[in-house]
C-alpha cells in the first residue's frame, strides 16, 4: 500500500508534493520519488528508504514547472531500492501507482515480445510503457489512458503525466482511494485527505473506473468510456481535535481505515520480496530476554527458531475475545497449510481446565495489549508445563511479550478504540506468515505454493483499501439495521471465526443481541430464531464452503429472514437471495478473513454511532482486561 500525490497550480509543486508525501508516509516508506516539470521536461528524483532520503536529494533541486507527481512506496513487486522506486518514466510519460496489477506477468511477456526493455522489476512500470505506446497514436494522454484501462486487472490508483501536455495530469483507479482536492486555481490529487487538507477542504472522491483529467485550472471527471461525470464536491469539516483522529469522527473509525497499513506493517519484516518467501524475523529463540532481542543476530536467531519449531508436533492457541477469534482463524491456516494439529482455547477456560500439554507442544498466546489477565495466566501455566511458548502482541515489552519465549508483533501502532480492529487483521496477517513458515519448515507446501501464499498476502493491503469504500454504505444503512431485534452472523470454515468476531463487534458497540454461528449448525437450533425481525449476516466468499453456505442462506430466506451477505465479486446467486449484498475482491481463502473483517467492523461501528453510543469507549468495557 503506497501513498501518491499530484499537484497542479501556482505553488511550488516540490513543496506541495513532499509535504503531502510526509502526511502519507505511514502508507509505506520503502522508497520515495517525484517527477516535476522543469524546462518542459518531467525531472525524476527518487531515493530508497524513508522520505527523508528523498528530501536530502531535493534540497539542491529547483523546478520551474506548475505540475508534478510524487510517491512513497510499500514494495510488493521488486525489492525496495532506487531502481524500483516510483515515479516510473517512459518516453516522456511519468507515472505513480498504488496497488497491484494482477495480470502484470502477461503484460510483461507481451511487451518483452515487442522488444521493450525494462528499467525496474515493478508491475507499475508496465503501465507507463502501455500508456507511452498508446500516446504515440492518440497524441492525447487522456485518450491513451482510456485505451489502456481495459488492459489492466487488479487493484490500482494511478497518476500519470506526459511532457507533450505539460498542463495535464490524469488520474484513474480501481480499488485504492484517490481523492481530488479542488483549490482556487489549483488541484491536489492524493491517496488520503491528509495530503490535501492544508490546501483545500473541498474534495471529490474518484470512484472505481472513473478518470479524472486536470488540465490547467480545469478538473473534469469521466467514466472509463469517456462520458462526463458530474461529481459532488464535499466539504471536509475537521476540528483541531479531529486532526488528531486524522479527520475521523472516532479513533475506531480511524483505526478501521488504518488496517491496510497495519497488515502491511505486520507482515513486511517477515517477507523476502526477492524470493517471495517468508522468514520469522528476530523471534528471539536465540536470546533470553527482550533487552537482548533489541541487539539479536538475525541469522543466528533464524537458525534457533527453525531448530525450536521443527520439533513441534502440536500447537495450542490461547487468547480472549477478538484475539481468540483471530486464533480460531489461525487454526484453519495452520492445519491446512502446515498440516499440524491445533487446539484453540479461550484463556479463561484453558487456565482452569487442567489442559494436557504433551511434550513438543507450542502454546501460542495472542494479545493486543499484552496484559490480559487470563491470557497471561494461560501463558504461565504453559511455561510451568514445560511447553515452548510464543506470543503475538501489539504492545512491545508488555508483560505477555516479556514472559514469552518467542515474540511476534502485530505492528499495528497504538490501538485506542476499545473495540479491537487493526490488531485483529494484523494478527491474521501474522498467522498467515507463521502458517506459511511452518508449512515450509515441515515440507508441507511446495516452493510454488509458498510464492502463491506470499503473493496473496502482498495483495491484501490494496484489496482492503477497496473494501473500505463500504464505509459510506454502512453510514447510510445503519438506521435501518438498528431496527432489528437481533443479528445472527454465520460462516463456514475459516469464515466461522469471522462470524463470531462480527457478532462480538455489534454486541460491544451497539449493545444489541448478536450471535455468531457455524452456518452448518443452522438446522441444530438457530433456524428457529429466524423471522423478519432477525437480520442474518452470512459470510460467503467463493471458497470451498461456498455452495453449502448458499444453501444455508436459502433455508434462512425461505423462513422470511432478512439477509446481508458478504461474497466475492459480482455474485448473482447471493444477490438474488440477499436484502443487502457486499462484494469483496477475489482473494485466496487465506486472505478472505482479512477482507471480511472490514464490513463486519463498519456495520457495528455505524449502527453504534447511529445510536449515539460512545464508540471509542463502550459502556462496561476496558481496552485491557487486566483482572479476571
Ligand atoms: C475486542 O474488541 C475487545 N476489546 C476484547 O474482546 C479484546 O479482544 C479482549 O479483551 C482481548 O484483549 P487483548 O487482545 O488485549 O488480550
b vs e for 286-315, b when ≥16 Cβ sit within 10 Å of the residue's Cβ?
Answer: bbeebeebeebeeeebbebbbebbeebebb
Mutate to test the pocket of ligand 1, among 368, 403, 418, 421 (most ligand atoms within 8 A of CB): 368
Ligand 1 test: best mutation among 256, 323, 351, 428, most atoms within 8 Å of CB?
323
CATH topology of domain 470-610: Rossmann fold (3.40.50)
The residue contributing the CA closest to ligand 1 atom 13 is: 367
- Mapped onto helix, strand or coil, the DSSP state of residue 563 is strand
Q: Is the pLDDT of residue 30 over 80?
A: yes
CA 616 / ligand 1 centre spacing (Å): 13
- Name which residue leads in pLDDT, 343 or 288: 343
pLDDT at site 116:
96
* Ligand 1 centroid – CA 263 distance (Å): 18
**pLDDT at site 371:** 85
Distance (Å, rounded) from C-alpha 335 to C-alpha 315?
Answer: 10
Fold equal for 245-467 and 470-610: yes
As a whole number of Å, the end-to-end CA separation of the chain is: 39
Report the pocket of ligand 1 as residue ranges, CB < 6 Å.
320-323, 367-369, 372, 375, 418-420, 508, 624-625
* Average pLDDT over every residue of 388-407: 92
**pLDDT tens readout for residues 113-153:** 999 999 999 999 999 999 999 999 999 999 999 999 999 99
CA 589 centroid distance within chain? 15
Q: Please report the atom of ligand 1 found closest to the CA of residue 421.
A: 2
The mean pLDDT value of the chain amounts to 92
Q: What is the pLDDT of residue 168?
A: 97
How many Å lie between the centroid of ligand 1 and the Cα of residue 580? Answer: 29
d(CA 51, CA 32): 6
Pick the range with the lowest mean pLDDT from 66-70, 248-252, 395-399, 532-536. 395-399
Report, as an integer, the average pLDDT of 574-595.
Answer: 95
Q: How confident is the model at residue 240 (pLDDT cuts 50, 70, 90)?
A: very low
- Domains of the chain, by residue range, sit at 3-241, 245-467, 470-610
Q: Which residue, among 413, 434, 409, has the nearest Cα to 422 in the 3D structure?
A: 413
What H or E segment, with its residue span, contains residue 441? helix 422-441
Spatial separation of the C-alpha atoms in residues 126 and 77, rounded to whole Å: 12
Three-state SS string across 207-230, please?
A: CCCEEEEEECCEEEEEECCCCEEC
Over residues 24-35, the mean pLDDT reads 83
Residue closest by Cα to atom 5 of ligand 1: 321
Percent of residues, the chain, with pLDDT higher than 70? 97
Measured in angstroms, how far is the CA atom of residue 338 from the centroid of ligand 1? Answer: 27
Q: What is the pLDDT of residues 359-379, one digit of tens each?
A: 999 999 999 988 888 999 999
Give the pLDDT mean for 173-197: 89
Q: Tell me how far apart the alpha carbons of residues 368 and 596 are, in angstroms, rounded to a whole number.
A: 20
CA distance 523 to 530: 11
Atom of ligand 1 nearest to the CA of 419: 2
Range with the poorest average pLDDT among 238-247, 422-431, 447-456, 491-500: 238-247
Reduced to 3 states (helix: H, G, I; strand: E, B; else coil), residue 272 is: strand
Lowest mean pLDDT among 28-32, 100-104, 292-296, 503-507: 28-32
Distance 422 CA to ligand 1 centre (A): 12
The CATH architecture assigned to 245-467 reads 3-Layer(aba) Sandwich (3.40)
Residue among 251, 320, 508 whose CB has most ligand 1 atoms within 8 A, to mutate: 320
Segment 413-431 mean pLDDT: 93
Per cent of the chain over pLDDT 90 is 74
pTM of the model: 0.75
User: What's residue 192's pLDDT?
Assistant: 80
**Kind plus residue range of the DSSP H or E element containing 424:** helix 422-441
Q: What spacing in Å lies between the alpha carbon of 562 and ligand 1's midpoint?
A: 30
- C-alpha 203 to ligand 1 mean position (Å): 36
246 pLDDT above the threshold of 80 = no
**Which residue owns the Cα nearest ligand 1 atom 7?**
321
Question: What residue's CA is closest to ligand 1, atom 2?
Answer: 419
The pLDDT tens digits of the residues spanning 68-119 come to 999 998 777 777 788 899 999 999 999 999 988 989 999 999 999 999 999 9
Q: How far away, in angstroms, is 428 Cα from ligand 1 center?
A: 15
Write the pLDDT tens digit of every residue in 458-471. 999 999 999 998 88
Compare 45 and 246 and report the one with higher pLDDT.
Answer: 45
Beta-carbon count within 10 A of 446 CB: 11
Tell which atom from ligand 1 comes closest to the C-alpha of 621: 4
So which residues are the catalytic ones? Answer: 2, 623
Pocket test for ligand 1, best of 251, 318, 321, 617 (most atoms within 8 A of CB): 321
- What's the pLDDT tens digit per position in 320-358? 999 999 999 999 999 999 999 999 999 999 999 999 999
Buried b / exposed e across 321-340, counting CB within 10 Å, b at 16+? Answer: bbbbbbbbbbbbbbebbbeb
The pLDDT value given to residue 302? 96
Does residue 622 surpass a pLDDT of 80?
no
Ligand 1 atom nearest 320 alpha carbon: 11
What's the gap in Å between 527 CA and the centre of ligand 1?
Answer: 30
- Report how far ligand 1's centroid is from the alpha carbon of 322 (Å): 5
Q: How confident is the model at residue 423 (pLDDT cuts 50, 70, 90)?
A: very high
Identify each DSSP E strand in 177-325 by its residue range: 179-183, 186-190, 202-205, 210-215, 218-223, 228-229, 234-235, 271-272, 277-278, 314-319
Do the Cβ atoms of 248 and 12 come closer than 8 Å? no
Average pLDDT over every residue of 198-210: 89
pLDDT for 624: 67
Q: Which of 506, 625, 626, 627 to mutate to test the pocket of ligand 1 (most atoms within 8 A of CB)?
A: 625
CATH of domain 3-241: 3.60.20.10
* Residue whose grid cell is 475459516: 494
Amino acid at each position: 500500500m503506497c501513498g501518491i500525490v499530484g499537484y497542479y497550480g501556482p505553488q511550488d509543486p516540490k513543496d506541495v508534493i513532499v509535504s503531502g508525501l510526509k502526511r502519507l508516509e505511514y502508507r509505506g516508506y520503502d522508497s520515495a520519488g517525484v517527477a516535476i516539470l522543469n524546462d518542459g521536461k518531467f525531472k525524476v528524483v527518487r531515493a530508497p528508504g524513508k522520505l527523508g532520503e528523498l528530501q536530502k536529494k531535493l534540497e539542491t533541486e529547483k523546478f520551474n514547472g506548475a505540475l508534478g507527481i510524487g510517491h512513497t512506496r510499500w514494495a510488493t513487486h521488486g525489492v525496495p531500492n532506487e531502481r524500483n522506486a516510483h515515479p516510473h518514466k517512459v518516453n516522456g510519460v511519468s507515472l505513480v501507482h498504488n496497488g497491484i496489477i494482477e495480470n502484470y506477468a502477461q503484460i510483461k511477456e507481451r511487451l518483452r515480445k515487442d522488444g521493450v526493455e525494462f528499467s525496474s522489476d515493478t508491475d507499475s512500470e508496465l503501465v507507463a510503457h502501455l500508456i507511452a505506446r498508446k500516446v504515440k497514436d492518440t497524441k492525447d494522454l487522456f485518450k491513451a489512458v482510456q485505451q489502456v484501462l481495459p488492459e489492466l486487472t487488479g487493484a490500482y490508483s494511478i497518476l500519470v503525466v506526459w511532457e507533450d501536455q505539460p498542463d495535464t495530469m490524469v488520474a484513474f483507479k480501481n480499488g485504492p482511494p484517490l481523492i481530488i482536492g479542488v483549490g482556487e486555481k489549483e488541484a491536489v490529487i492524493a491517496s488520503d485527505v491528509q495530503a490535501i487538507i492544508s490546501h483545500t477542504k473541498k474534495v471529490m472522491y474518484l470512484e472505481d473506473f472513473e478518470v479524472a483529467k486536470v488540465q490547467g485550472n480545469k478538473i473534469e471527471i469521466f467514466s472509463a468510456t469517456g462520458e462526463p461525470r458530474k461529481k459532488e464536491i464535499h466539504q471536509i469539516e475537521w476540528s483541531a481535535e479531529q486532526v488528531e483522529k486524522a479527520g475521523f469522527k472516532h479513533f475506531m473509525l480511524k483505526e478501521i481505515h488504518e488496517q491496510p497499513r497495519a497488515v502491511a506493517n505486520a507482515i513486511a519484516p517477515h517477507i523476502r520480496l526477492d524470493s517471495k518467501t517468508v522468514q520469522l524475523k528476530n523471534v528471539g529463540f536465540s536470546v533470553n530476554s527482550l533487552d537482548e532481542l533489541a541487539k539479536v543476530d538475525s541469522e543466528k536467531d533464524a537458525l534457533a527458531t527453525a531448530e525450536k519449531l521443527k520439533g513441534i508436533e502440536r500447537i495450542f492457541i490461547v487468547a480472549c475475545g477478538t484475539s481468540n477469534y483471530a486464533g480460531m482463524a489461525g487454526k484453519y491456516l495452520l492445519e491446512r497449510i502446515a498440516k499440524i494439529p491445533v487446539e484453540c482455547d479461550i484463556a479463561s477456560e484453558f487456565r482452569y481446565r487442567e489442559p494436557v500439554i504433551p511434550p513438543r507442544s507450542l502454546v501460542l498466546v495472542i494479545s493486543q495489549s499484552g496484559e490480559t489477565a487470563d491470557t497471561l495466566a494461560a501463558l504461565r501455566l504453559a511455561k510451568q508445563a514445560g511447553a515452548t511458548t510464543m506470543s503475538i502482541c501489539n504492545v512491545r515489552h508488555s508483560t505477555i511479550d516479556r514472559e514469552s519465549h518467542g515474540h511476534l508483533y502485530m505492528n499495528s501502532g497504538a490501538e485506542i478504540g476499545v473495540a479491537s480492529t487493526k490488531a485483529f487483521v494484523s494478527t491474521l496477517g501474522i498467522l498467515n506468515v507463521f502458517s506459511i513458515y511452518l508449512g515450509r519448515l515441515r515440507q508441507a507446501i511446495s516452493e510454488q505454493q509458498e510464492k502463491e501464499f506470499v503473493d496473496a498476502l502482498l495483495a491484501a493491503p490494496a484489496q482492503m483499501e477497496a473494501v473500505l469504500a463500504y464505509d459510506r454504505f454502512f453510514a447510510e444503512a445503519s438506521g435501518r439495521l438498528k431496527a432489528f431485534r437481533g443479528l445472527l452472523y454465520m460462516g463456514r470454515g475459516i469464515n466461522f471465526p469471522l462470524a463470531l468476531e462480527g457478532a462480538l463487534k455489534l454486541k460491544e458497540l451497539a449493545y444489541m443481541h448478536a450471535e455468531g454461528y457455524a452456518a452448518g449448525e443452522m438446522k441444530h437450533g438457530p433456524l428457529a430464531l429466524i423471522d423478519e425481525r432477525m437480520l442474518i449476516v452470512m459470510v460467503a466468499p467463493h471458497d470451498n464452503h461456498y455452495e453449502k453456505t448458499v444453501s444455508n442462506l436459502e433455508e434462512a430466506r425461505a423462513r422470511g429472514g432478512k439477509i446481508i451477505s458478504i461474497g466475492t465479486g459480482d455474485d448473482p446467486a447471493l444477490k438474488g437471495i440477499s436484502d443487502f449484498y457486499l462484494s469483496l475482491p477475489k482473494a485466496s481463502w487465506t486472505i478472505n478473513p482479512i477482507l471480511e473483517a472490514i464490513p463486519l467492523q463498519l456495520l457495528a461501528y455505524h449502527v453504534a454511532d447511529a445510536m449515539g453510543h460512545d464508540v471509542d469507549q463502550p459502556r462496561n468495557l476496558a481496552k485491557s482486561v487486566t483482572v479476571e
